[in-house]
Amino acid sequence: MKTNKNMRTLLQYILFITFFAGFALQTPTVLGQKKTIKKSGQITTNKKSNSKTKSKSKKSIRNSGSVKSKKQKTFNRKNNVVKEEKVALQDLVKKVPIDIPVIQDSTPSKVVTIMSAFKPQLKNVVKIDFTNASPISDTQSVSYSYQIPSQNLSFSYQPIALNPLAAVIPETPILEGNTRIKVGFGNYLYQFLEASYNTVSNNNIHDFNVYTESSEGAHHLQKFRDSKLNYLGNYALANQLHLTTHLYAQQTQLYRYGLVPDTIALPTDNYTQKSTHIGLQMALLNNNAFDKGIYFQPVLELENRSDIHSKNNTYFAISSPLSKQLKSGMLFNFDLHYSFSSYNNITNIQNSLLRWDPSLSFNKWNLKMKVGLSPVVKTDGFKLYPNIQLQHKLTDTTWDVQAGWITQTKNSNYSQLITENPWIISPEKLAISTQEKQFIKLVVNASKNLQYGFGISLNNYVNLALFNKTPIVVYDYIYPPSMTYYSNRVNRGLEYMTIWEPNAHTIELEANLQYQWSDVFSIHNEFKYTQYNYIKQNEKPWGLIPVQFNSGFYWKMNDKLLMDGSVQVMSGIQTTQEGSNFLAKTIPTAAIINAGISYKLSIPWKLWLKANNILNNTYQRWAEYPSLGVQINAGVVYSFHK
């Protein structure tokens, strides 16, 4: 009996020791970890350890419930941690559900979710100190967001790469003493000569350019000469301030050959259309302003245009785009513009224009909005115009809808008029023009390379410049005011005059399409149709283009061969018939195709070829002034530096 009792006691001890040994092995796994069972079938385990002090506080284990732990004893043996905890027996037998993960398809999903607080943004090139690529700010319009094409796209005309702000970006190398000479010849005795030179001194860049171009035509008066001198400067001032300058002087000489017989033998001075244009433009760039959320770029412009009859116009303008980024995310714009024009004719005519453009740009209700007013003080009084622009991106599309109500004001000067129509006589007066525009537009990014859009607008013009032939009997203010003469087209050639239409209403339809593939190929197309619904004083919109289409392309065939071209179509231009009845007539539709090619022979040498009016049509942009036929010009470019 005693032996049986001892055996029973021994078996109890063995079972007891076995039980606690198994319990000790399971304790680090069961009690020393937190198990969280997720829906996906994965178990996340968080280890608890404390090798320095004893834990006497209550701890909660989040698994299927909360388990209260009791005192713990921690033993450190050669950096090994062993934990012993007393746990209720019912907790040991509690069933813990474990989901066995199922082998799933290892094919990676196409949906990638990036969780990050970082928001990428495009930095202005001035902020990273691109001194040679300082942009001109336009705070008059809403900053629209577009779908950026894929990484294989780099714009050929703006080759500025995007780099991380932390990267060390070297300055664009400028070859000191870089010299370029371009020479060309062609039919109709075409001659072209251009020379340019640039240098760097104390981080200041100086560029000089001079060119002359001349040609003759089928008519003995159908010839011209154009010469121009340019100076471009970039001065580095203190605190990353840059002063850019453009100084120029240009002289253009034409001859009025319209309605003049080719057999006439009168002096060419009777038909001379000659003008001189000199000017200065300056802009101050403040690169530090971007760090403070403030941007400003004051621009100063001064020019003078004079003609062969001693009529001259002096024009002065200063513009100061100003914007401030607010903490709320809104952008406050306060643009300022002032211009003054003094025109010396029979009497001295002076026009002044002062304009403010305070506005707020912000995002609200899934819209990008710009709301403001434009108070304008002109010579003839005060006006207040609205400035509202909206943009909305349609859900799950690449379509952007843009709408707005804006007003553009322009203090017209002699240079703008003679650039648009080179055959005008000295205008009787100059005026301040206004265009009030209400528009809606759709922009579509069809693919990585293809974008297109179209829109419609209602326009209200005040003092719209029109151009028509001078009547046969006119009061000639060029000569002494007591003279009235009969305009002789043969003796003077056909002259155009500037007519200021006080009020005109139009509907304009616009469409554009562009495709670009890297820097290898690009094409852009623009179409515009203008319907004149109301003209207050004039019968027709004399000299303006109701229907026009423009297209251009650029093709880089390889590293040596480049090709470009353009297409232009004009239709519906109105003018008056010859005679005293002033009946309106439409100039025939004109289509012009131009193309050019450039081939690099070696590092210093390059060949170029240009063909104008390939269709060989003697079209008329201005009535009774037929153009030349096909023109083929070719030459070489030689570049070197010391």
* pLDDT-derived band at 295, boundaries 50, 70, 90: confident
pLDDT (mean) for 135-160 = 41
pLDDT score for 126: 41
CB atoms within 10 A of CB 72: 17
pLDDT reading at 260 higher than 60: yes
DSSP line for 448-483: SSEEEEEEEEEEEEESEEEEEEPPSEEE-SSS-TT-
Q: Which two tokens stand for residue 592?
A: 């012009």
pLDDT score for 619: 96
Task: Give 9-38 pLDDT, tens digit per residue.
Answer: 665 656 556 555 554 444 444 444 444 433
Single out the residue of 143, 144, 140 nearest to residue 387, CA to CA: 140
Of the two residues 603 and 314, the one the predictor is more confident about is 314
Of the two residues 287 and 393, the one the predictor is more confident about is 393
pLDDT score for 142: 46
Q: What share of the chain is helix, strand, coil (3-state, %, to 5)?
A: 10, 50, 40
Please check whether residue 564 is in contact with residue 552, taking contact to mean a CB–CB distance below 8 angstroms. Answer: yes
**Which of these ranges, 186-195, 287-296, 619-628, has the smallest mean pLDDT?**
287-296
* Pairing between β-strand 80-85 and β-strand 331-344 as defined by DSSP bridges: unpaired
In a domain, 49, yes or no: yes
Q: Hey, is 259 helix, strand or coil?
A: coil
Euclidean distance between CA atoms 570 and 588, whole angstroms: 9
Euclidean distance between CA atoms 522 and 531, whole angstroms: 31
pLDDT score for 316: 98
Please check whether residue 83 is in contact with residue 72, taking contact to mean a CB–CB distance below 8 angstroms. Answer: yes
* Pairing between β-strand 504-517 and β-strand 450-462 as defined by DSSP bridges: antiparallel
Euclidean distance between CA atoms 100 and 112, whole angstroms: 26
pLDDT score for 580: 67
Q: Phi first, then psi: what are they for 379, rounded to 5°?
A: -60, -35
H or E element in which residue 6 lies:
helix 2-30
Amino acid residing at 182: K
In a domain, 65, yes or no: yes
pLDDT score for 222: 96
Please check whether residue 634 is in contact with residue 610, taking contact to mean a CB–CB distance below 8 angstroms. Answer: yes
pLDDT score for 349: 93
Euclidean distance between CA atoms 341 and 353, whole angstroms: 9
Euclidean distance between CA atoms 582 and 586, whole angstroms: 13
How is residue 239 annotated by DSSP?
G
Task: Give 428-441 pLDDT, tens digit per residue.
Answer: 999 999 999 999 99
Amino acid residing at 317: A
DSSP line for 146-180: --PPPTT---TT-------TTS--PPPP--TTEEE
Amino acid residing at 110: K
H or E element in which residue 24 lies:
helix 2-30
Euclidean distance between CA atoms 211 and 47, whole angstroms: 81
Of the two residues 587 and 65, the one the predictor is more confident about is 587
pLDDT (mean) for 573-589 = 89
* pLDDT-derived band at 296, boundaries 50, 70, 90: confident
pLDDT reading at 130 higher than 50: no
Q: Which two tokens stand for residue 308?
A: 């062969």
pLDDT score for 257: 96
DSSP line for 557-611: -SSSEEEEEEEEEEE--EEE-SSSS--EEEPPPEEEEEEEEEEE-SSSEEEEEEE
By the 10 Å C-beta count (0-12 exposed, 13-18 middle, 19+ buried), 444 is classed as middle
b/e map of 264-282 (b: 16 or more CB within 10 Å)? Answer: eeeeeebbebebebebebb
Euclidean distance between CA atoms 339 and 313, whole angstroms: 13
Q: Hey, is 59 helix, strand or coil?
A: coil
Which residues are registered as beta bridge partners of 182? 194, 637
Task: Give 475-515 pLDDT, tens digit per residue.
Answer: 444 444 444 444 578 889 999 999 999 999 999 999 999 99
Euclidean distance between CA atoms 285 and 515, whole angstroms: 33
**Which of these ranges, 134-148, 285-299, 479-493, 624-638, has the smallest mean pLDDT?**
134-148
pLDDT (mean) for 183-202 = 95
* pLDDT-derived band at 58, boundaries 50, 70, 90: very low
How is residue 175 annotated by DSSP?
-
In a domain, 50, yes or no: yes
In a domain, 492, yes or no: no
Task: Give 441-461 pLDDT, tens digit per residue.
Answer: 999 999 999 999 999 999 999
pLDDT (mean) for 574-584 = 86
Number of domains in the chain: 1
In a domain, 46, yes or no: yes
Euclidean distance between CA atoms 180 and 196, whole angstroms: 5
Domain extent for 22 = 2-92
SS (H, E, C) 337-373: EEEEEEEECCCEEEEEEEEEEEEEEEEECCEEEEEEE
CA distances from 399 to 156, 447, 457, 515 (A): 25, 11, 19, 17
In a domain, 29, yes or no: yes
As a whole number, the mean pLDDT across the chain is 79
Q: Which two tokens stand for residue 258?
A: 């319209």
* pLDDT-derived band at 399, boundaries 50, 70, 90: very high
H or E element in which residue 392 lies:
strand 381-393
How is residue 426 annotated by DSSP?
P
Please check whether residue 85 is in contact with residue 31, taking contact to mean a CB–CB distance below 8 angstroms. Answer: yes
Task: Give 585-611 pLDDT, tens digit per residue.
Answer: 999 999 999 999 999 999 899 999 999
In a domain, 9, yes or no: yes
